[in-house]
Amino acid sequence: MKDKDIEGLKEAGRASSLALEYARSIIKEGASMLDVAQRIEAFIKEKGLGLAFPVNLSVGSDAAHYTPGIGEKREFTAKDLVKVDLGARRGDLLNDCASTIDLSGEHGKLVDAANEALETAINMVKNGREVREIGREIERIADAHGVKPIRNLGGHGITKTELHAEIFIPNFDNGDSTALEDGQVIAIEPFMTNGEGYVEDGENVEIFQKTGSNPVRSREAREIAGFIDSSYGTYPFAVRWLGKEMGKLSEFGIRRALAELSAAGDMEQFPVLREKKAGFVAQAEKTMVVDGDSCIVLNG
Ligand code: MN
Ligand code: MN
């Protein structure tokens, strides 16, 4: 990997870690979810960096992919278990990191299991390490804490164009003997739950990604497609971002246009992922570069 790329990855990693710390300082009972999301995103942009994807604020049994919507009215409550998942990017060098904030103080087991599993996994990362071995340790730590890892979520490779690419790093021993390779950028993300250990798609979709440019009929869909191309490219974006930027369109109009683009095969959708038995979910995530016998961790 080029030195310039390592520097950019480190810069994105530092900004992302600081953004997680900032998130921890503003997520409180009574804080507006919309305000918190906007302030975290502004924090990253003020450092001169872009967003690899919208800030995810998934609460309780929502495991991932929730970001506040247009006109979001929800506030954090004293019962909330909040996963903050975010990533800054320096050009096309992406970071992906997450941490769990337990406002209730009742989910220490889940949070500890996720954090401990992540640190143990990081210590195992090296050139040639089989991904199943990492998964086995994550599951062992879950067992030791009396909780379950989420089996259909896991870590992943990160390339310059794709946040989820090349390799899947399971949160249990899935028998996959694929080996990590020197220079690979990867994110590891154990999810822990007191539910069933699986997530499923919810109804709500707040995050989209433009993946094609097939023709669409309506003027609104064409206008939105052009705006996405010039503003977000192929990186994921939030419906509320469009709400802010395309002020003359109603939420209904924006969602109709996104549905039309999706039907044309131009959009990937990221539904909110909910734990199957509505168990509580904690997550911890960092990005790193595989480096010989160990790795360079990009999130402090
Ligand atoms: Mn990730
Ligand atoms: Mn993430």
Reply yes or no on whether 65 is catalytic: no
d(CA 235, ligand 1 centre) in Å? 14
Are 45 and 192 part of one and the same domain?
yes
d(CA 187, ligand 1 centre) in Å? 6
Reply yes or no on whether 189 is catalytic: yes
28: containing domain? 3-201+275-297
d(CA 48, ligand 1 centre) in Å? 22
Are 17 and 82 part of one and the same domain?
yes
Write the pLDDT tens digit of every residue in 254-284: 999 999 999 999 999 999 999 999 999 999 9
- The label of the residue with tokens 């989910």 reads 107
Are 181 and 238 part of one and the same domain?
no
What is the per-residue burial (b if ≥16 Cβ within 10 Å, else e) of 45-79? eeeebbbbbbbbbbbbbbbbbbbbbbebeeebeee
**Residues that place a CB less than 5 A from ion ligand 2:** 85, 96, 98, 285
Are 163 and 285 part of one and the same domain?
yes
Write the pLDDT tens digit of every residue in 1-47: 788 899 999 999 999 999 999 999 999 999 999 999 999 999 999 99
pTM above 0.85, yes or no: yes
Are 131 and 215 part of one and the same domain?
no
Domain count, the chain: 2
Are 283 and 143 part of one and the same domain?
yes
Write the pLDDT tens digit of every residue in 106-131: 999 999 999 999 999 999 999 999 99
Are 122 and 159 part of one and the same domain?
yes
Q: At 33, which CATH number?
A: 3.90.230.10
Query: Quick check: 213 pLDDT over 90?
Result: yes
Write the pLDDT tens digit of every residue in 168-198: 999 999 999 999 999 999 999 999 999 999 9
d(CA 59, ligand 2 centre) in Å? 14
Of 78, 21, 77, residue with least CA distance to 47: 21
Choice among 11, 41, 80, 96 that is catalytic = 96
Are 70 and 164 part of one and the same domain?
yes
Q: Quick one: which ligand is closest to 164's CA?
A: 1
Q: At 235, which CATH number?
A: 1.10.10.10
Are 179 and 79 part of one and the same domain?
yes
Reply yes or no on whether 164 is catalytic: yes
d(CA 188, ligand 1 centre) in Å? 7
Are 97 and 232 part of one and the same domain?
no
Are 85 and 142 part of one and the same domain?
yes
Are 224 and 116 part of one and the same domain?
no
- Reduce the secondary structure of 22-89 to three states and give it as a string: HHHHHCCCCCEHHHHHHHHHHHHHHCCCEECCCCEEEECCEEECCCCCCCCCCECCCCCEEEEEECEE
